[in-house]
């Protein structure tokens, strides 16, 4: 049986303050939980008998079997999916060498949890293992972000840091940014390694970061003379940019 205190604890993980205090985050749904279980320390696993019948060897500090009704009371979702789990937040040492040996992403003030989660999923798809976020980027452990990653966070390391000093430590590493006055990406020279910066949904890349970008890129609309939307969603733009980088070096 799931106690009221346990339900209160699970619900508290909807707030960044509680997630930080508990060093924990919530994952819901069998697909996402299945992705996270082999990779992260599970502190609490709450699931129905139907889930446990197909997952008899789950490992967690605490395992509680519940009815669908009990799960519904604990869940943050409108339609719970058999299981929820609380995982310990992992610690990753900031890797200053990653952009010199691989293709990496950086996010400058992305605010929407769904956008961040989708970008993590995009990074996973294109084999990008390190994502560097400014301190004002939305919390990666927000439940909406976790839900949007569909488990991809188990394979992508997310680092929060002050981007300007981090970028300034990168010597002879290309730093790409997307701008409306940039060079058309399809006609630009690209590298298989480096750092791609994506900006805030409304304001783009901040002026301070813009000053240290070494190559400005632009995704052109088609046809060029046609009136179109002001800009692309940041996750959509990230997908197009990453696809072009990977296409060059297949």
pTM for this entry? 0.94
Give the domain ranges of the chain.
4-88, 98-248
pLDDT in tens, 144-183: 999 999 999 999 999 999 999 999 999 999 999 999 899 9
* Residue range 84-99, pLDDT digits in tens: 999 999 999 999 999 9
**Are both 4-88 and 98-248 of the same fold?**
no
Nearby residues of 230 by Cβ (< 8 Å), 6 or more positions away: none
CATH of domain 4-88: 3.30.1330.30
Q: Identify which of 147, 101, 153, 164 has the alpha carbon closest to the alpha carbon of residue 131.
A: 153
CA angle 204, 111, 213 (to 5 degrees): 30
171 phi/psi in degrees, rounded to 5: -100, 135
DSSP H helix total and E strand total for the chain:
11, 10
Q: Which fold has domain 98-248?
A: Alpha/beta knot (3.40.1280)
């Amino acid at each position: 049986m799931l106690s009221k205190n346990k339900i209160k604890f699970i619900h508290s993980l909807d707030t960044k303050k509680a997630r930080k205090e508990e060093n924990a985050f919530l994952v819901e749904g069998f697909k996402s939980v299945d992705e996270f279980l082999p990779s992260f320390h599970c502190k609490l696993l709450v699931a129905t008998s139907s889930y446990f019948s197909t997952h008899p060897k789950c490992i967690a500090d605490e395992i509680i079997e519940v009815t669908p009704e009990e799960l519904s009371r604990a869940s943050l979702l409108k339609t719970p999916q058999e299981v929820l789990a609380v995982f310990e937040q992992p610690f990753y040492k900031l890797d200053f060498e990653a952009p010199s040996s691989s293709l990496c992403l950086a996010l400058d003030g992305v605010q929407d949890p769904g956008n961040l989660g989708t970008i993590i999923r995009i990074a996973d798809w294109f084999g990008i293992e390190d994502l560097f976020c400014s301190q004002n980027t939305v919390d990666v452990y927000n439940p909406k972000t976790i839900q949007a990653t569909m488990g991809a966070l188990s394979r992508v390391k997310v680092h929060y840091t002050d981007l300007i000093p981090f970028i300034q430590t990168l010597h002879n590493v290309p730093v790409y940014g997307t701008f409306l006055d940039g060079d058309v990406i399809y006609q630009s020279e690209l590298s298989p390694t480096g750092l791609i910066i994506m900006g805030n949904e409304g304001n783009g890349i901040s002026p301070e970061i813009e000053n240290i970008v070494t190559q400005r890129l632009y995704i052109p609309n088609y046809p060029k003379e046609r009136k179109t939307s002001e800009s692309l969603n940041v996750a959509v733009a990230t997908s197009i940019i990453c696809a072009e980088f990977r296409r060059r070096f297949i």
